């Protein structure tokens, strides 16, 4: 009898947890699903659903969500008109997309390269200076980016890089988090491998490129994914460091799409999500490997 009640309790608690998890999952997924399905609605259908919201905005009021909003997930008729507008009729969206690409791609490649070199140094050279420097890296990593915005702004201004893409790219390349993650990963490489390579006559550069990097492929990929997602979604940096709207990335531009273009906003948001999604799906395995190994290794 007791056994029966125990198993009943187990099933009940498991059921409750499943329901809770489902609620969370739906809460997280709902906006994404809404964005994707609504991007296939025609302008008329969107106006019918969200008209009151935008009316209130047009009237100068501050209310964004009104009582009359009808959340509709399934379009009456699938329409590609929003995508047509974004891709073929309004080049500024693609221009912003391109702006995002030319900001993020150098940051990703630059940060991975710098992190790999720095992590290799942290792995290979021992001593008090290394420990102090690594501690500084950890402190920097713990600081939120917003704290560094003002110094970044002042330095960019002083160096004359303000309002250029370099004011975002350069601080992005030298970010401490990747160095930390990769150092932890590289410290897992057995010292005997490096020693074997040394005895095999390999130079330091060859040990780095031929022995170390191939073994950190997972960590490098996971860093690239995290950095891409992070910088693809950046908002504060371009707003503060790039005053020229022509250079603003899509992440910033999305918020400036006005009320009358809500259909386009949905389509742009979907296009905006695609690179992150593809990169995540392609590198999910590496991401998990990189993070789990970096977290579980001894320092």
Q: How far is Cα of residue 298 from the mean position of the Cα atoms in its chain?
A: 27
Q: Nearest distance from residue 272's CB to another protein, in Å?
A: 36
Residues 6+ apart with CB under 8 A from 228: 104, 108, 275, 276, 279
Where along the sequence are the contacts to another protein (CB under 8 A)? 190, 192-193, 195-203, 206, 210-211, 214-215
How far apart, in whole angstroms, are the C-alpha atoms of residue 175 and residue 171?
Answer: 7
Q: Which is nearer to another protein, 198 or 293 (CB)?
A: 198
Q: Nearest distance from residue 279's CB to another protein, in Å?
A: 23
Q: Which is nearer to another protein, 54 or 286 (CB)?
A: 286
Q: Which is nearer to another protein, 3 or 199 (CB)?
A: 199
For residue 208, how many other CB atoms are within 10 A of its CB?
20
Q: Nearest distance from residue 123's CB to another protein, in Å?
A: 16
Buried b vs exposed e over 26-61: b needs ≥16 C-beta within 10 Å? eeeeeeeeebebbbbbbbebbbebbebbbebbeeee
Q: Nearest distance from residue 120's CB to another protein, in Å?
A: 16
Closest CA to 238 of 226, 249, 227, 254: 249
Q: Which is nearer to another protein, 76 or 200 (CB)?
A: 200
Q: Which is nearer to another protein, 41 or 197 (CB)?
A: 197
Torsion of CA 223, 247, 141, 187, to 10 degrees: 30
Task: Compute the radius of gyration of the chain from its Cα atoms.
Answer: 25
Q: Nearest distance from residue 286's CB to another protein, in Å?
A: 14
Q: Nearest distance from residue 190's CB to another protein, in Å?
A: 7
How far apart, in whole angstroms, are the C-alpha atoms of residue 164 and residue 272?
Answer: 23
Q: Which is nearer to another protein, 60 or 127 (CB)?
A: 127
How far apart, in whole angstroms, are the C-alpha atoms of residue 87 and residue 98?
Answer: 12
Coil, helix or strand at residue 90: coil
């Amino acid at each position: 009898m007791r056994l029966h009640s125990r198993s009943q309790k187990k099933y009940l608690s498991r059921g409750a947890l499943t329901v809770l998890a489902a609620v969370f999952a739906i809460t997280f997924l709902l906006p994404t699903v809404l964005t994707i399905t609504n991007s296939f609605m025609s302008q008329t259908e969107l106006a019918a659903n969200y008209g009151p919201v935008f009316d209130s905005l047009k009237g100068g009021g501050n209310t964004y969500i009104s009582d009359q909003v009808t959340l509709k997930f399934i379009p009456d008729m699938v329409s590609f008109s929003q995508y047509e507008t974004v891709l073929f009729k309004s080049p500024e969206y693609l221009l912003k997309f391109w702006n995002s690409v030319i900001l993020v791609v150098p940051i990703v490649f630059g940060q991975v390269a710098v992190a790999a070199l720095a992590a290799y140094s942290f792995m290979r050279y021992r001593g008090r200076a290394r420990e102090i420097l690594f501690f500084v890296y950890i402190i920097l990593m713990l600081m939120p980016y917003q704290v560094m915005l003002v110094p970044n702004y002042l330095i960019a201004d002083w160096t004359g890089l303000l309002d250029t893409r370099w004011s975002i790219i350069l601080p992005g390349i030298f970010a401490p988090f990747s160095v930390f993650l990769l150092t932890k990963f590289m410290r897992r490489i057995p010292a005997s491998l490096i020693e074997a390579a040394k005895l095999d006559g390999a130079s330091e550069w060859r040990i780095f490129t031929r022995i170390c990097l191939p073994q950190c492929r997972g960590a490098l990929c996971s860093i690239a994914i995290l950095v891409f997602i992070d910088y693809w979604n950046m908002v504060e940096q371009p707003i503060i460091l790039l005053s020229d709207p022509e250079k603003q990335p899509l992440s910033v531009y999305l918020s400036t799409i006005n009320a009358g273009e809500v259909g386009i906003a949905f389509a742009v948001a979907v296009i905006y999500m695609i690179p992150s999604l593809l990169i995540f799906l392609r590198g999910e395995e590496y991401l998990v490997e990189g993070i789990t190994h970096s977290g579980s290794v001894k320092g």
